[in-house]
């Protein structure tokens, strides 16, 4: 009897210890109503979360991951988060082209065939991170093409992934890229168009969602299929962020081949808020593209708080992947999360609960994880 009693006490102690050590479990049991509403029905909201502590010892870096309902087979629409790898791979491709004797840079003007409007890759990347500009993403998508995107990410161990389309427009899924003409130091450079493979239908869990959708202003009373949409699972996003900020922790062939100045530019762009690039602060407040911690606030983000991230929101799904660094308190960590807020189950009707449920949830989630990191440092 005594042995059974002590065994029971030991079991309770072990379970209690595991609960205390499972940070996301603690957060999921929070009494905050913003979190409770979602965590009491995580299946409905399709919540997935990854939080990573960064452990430093003797000049090396290790990662301790905590996961909540993470499953690469549980589909969510990644929306604008796919702009992150496209931006990174565009910078990498410029470097690779230069190794082959092409004299262009991220500042080199370019235009499309039969189009007189000039752009450059640097401005495109700044717009992607400041206000999640779709046209800037589409131009970079033309620059590298979907086959290049997927093969490069997979070769770096960033899989599963399938980025197959541009944003908006009848040509969003075209497999042929447009002719691009760069003004190089030694004259005009015409990049060849690329022919890409058409996307196969995804065959994973929950790829068909809801009870209906809107098409050409008409409601279709059938579930909506995401089978031909982009596929960028949360863990793939999270691992990409690790490679960007701590490349020394990975084999070189698994990281992005960027010049120091290009990497510095990319990282700066990821943390810059819209007002610093001249956007109207009344429309694009600091938290506009920073859901974690500040998404539900109109206040400016303190200068010592750096949030290097990419958000995405469409079809009722909100997603963010971020490296968060408090320079004043020497705190840094990775956090990625996704949530679906589509109460009526109808897609493409723009009736989503972003402001009432989704963004407040991500903001409070970020605050609670940040507070735990502060406490850990103390």
In a domain, 7, yes or no: no
Of the candidates 201, 261, 251, the residue with the CA atom closest to the CA atom of residue 229 = 201
Domain interval for residue 275: 20-377
Q: Is residue 10 part of a domain?
A: no
Beta bridge partners of 309: 322
Residue 26 lies in a domain: yes
* Beta carbons of 272 and 130 less than 8 angstroms apart: yes
Q: Are 301 and 287 in contact (CB under 8 A)?
A: yes
Instruction: Determine the Cα–Cα distance for residues 351 and 349; give it in Å rounded to an integer.
Output: 5
- Domain count within the chain: 1
Q: Report the share of the chain in percent with pLDDT over 70.
A: 94
The model's pLDDT over 4-42, given as tens digits with 9 standing for 90+, comes to 443 443 343 333 334 445 899 999 999 999 999 999 999
Residue 13 within a domain: no
The alpha carbon torsion through 92, 95, 99, 100 (nearest 10 deg) reads 80
Q: Is residue 178 part of a domain?
A: yes
**Using CA atoms, how far apart are residues 130 and 70, in angstroms rounded to an integer?**
28
Please give the mean pLDDT across all residues of the chain. Answer: 92
Q: Are 258 and 89 in contact, with CB atoms under 8 Å apart?
A: no
Kindly state whether residue 2 falls inside one of the protein's structural domains: no
Rounded distance between C-alpha atoms, residue 264 and residue 292, angstroms:
23
pLDDT for the residue numbered 21: 55
Give me the half-sphere count of Cα atoms (radius 13 Å) on the Cβ side of residue 368: 19
pLDDT digits (tens, 9 = 90+) for 105-139: 999 999 999 899 999 999 999 999 999 999 999 99
pLDDT band at 103 (very low <50, low <70, confident <90, very high): confident
Question: Is 15 a member of any domain?
Answer: no
Residue 8 lies inside a defined structural domain of this protein: no
346-347/212-215 β-pairing: parallel
Q: What is the distance between the alpha carbons of residues 105 and 97, in angstroms, rounded to a whole number? A: 9
The model's pTM: 0.92
What CATH number is attached to the domain comprising 340? Answer: 3.40.710.10
What is residue 305's three-state secondary structure? strand
Rounded to a whole number of angstroms, the CA Rg of the chain reads 22
With cut-offs at 50, 70 and 90, classify the pLDDT of residue 3: very low
């Amino acid at each position: 009897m005594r042995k059974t009693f002590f065994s029971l006490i030991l079991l309770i102690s072990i379970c209690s210890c595991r609960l205390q050590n499972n940070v996301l479990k603690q957060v999921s049991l929070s009494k905050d109503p913003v979190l409770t509403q979602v965590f009491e029905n995580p299946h409905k909201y399709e919540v997935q979360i990854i939080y990573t502590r960064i452990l430093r010892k003797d000049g090396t870096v290790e990662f301790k991951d905590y996961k909540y309902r993470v499953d690469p087979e549980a589909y969510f629409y990644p929306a604008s988060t796919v702009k992150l790898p496209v931006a990174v791979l565009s910078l990498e491709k410029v470097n690779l082209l230069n190794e082959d004797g092409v004299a262009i840079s991220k500042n080199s003007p370019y235009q499309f065939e039969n189009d007189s409007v000039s752009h450059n890759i640097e401005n495109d990347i700044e717009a992607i991170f400041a206000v999640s500009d779709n046209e800037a993403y589409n131009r970079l998508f033309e620059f590298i093409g979907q086959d290049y995107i997927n093969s490069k990410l997979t070769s770096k161990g960033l899989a599963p992934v399938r980025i197959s389309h541009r944003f908006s427009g009848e040509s969003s899924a075209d497999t042929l890229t447009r002719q691009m003409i760069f003004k190089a130091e030694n004259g005009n450079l015409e990049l060849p168009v690329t022919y890409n493979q058409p996307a196969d239908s995804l065959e994973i869990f929950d790829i068909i969602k809801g009870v209906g959708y809107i098409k050409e202003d008409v409601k279709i009373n059938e579930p909506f299929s995401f089978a031909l949409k982009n596929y960028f699972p949360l863990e793939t996003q999270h691992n990409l962020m690790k490679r960007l900020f701590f490349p020394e922790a990975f084999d070189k062939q698994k990281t992005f081949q960027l010049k120091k100045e290009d990497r510095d530019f990319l990282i700066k762009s990821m943390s810059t808020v819209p007002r610093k690039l001249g956007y109207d602060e009344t429309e694009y407040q600091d938290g506009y593209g920073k859901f974690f911690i500040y998404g539900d606030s109109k206040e400016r983000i303190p200068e010592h708080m750096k949030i290097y991230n990419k958000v995405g929101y469409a079809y009722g799904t909100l997603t963010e992947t971020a490296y968060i660094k408090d320079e004043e308190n020497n705190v840094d960590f990775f956090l990625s999360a996704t949530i679906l807020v589509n109460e009526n189950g109808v897609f493409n009707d723009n009736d989503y609960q972003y402001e009432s449920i989704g963004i407040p949830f991500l903001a409070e989630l970020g605050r609670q994880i940040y507070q735990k990191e502060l406490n850990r440092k103390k």
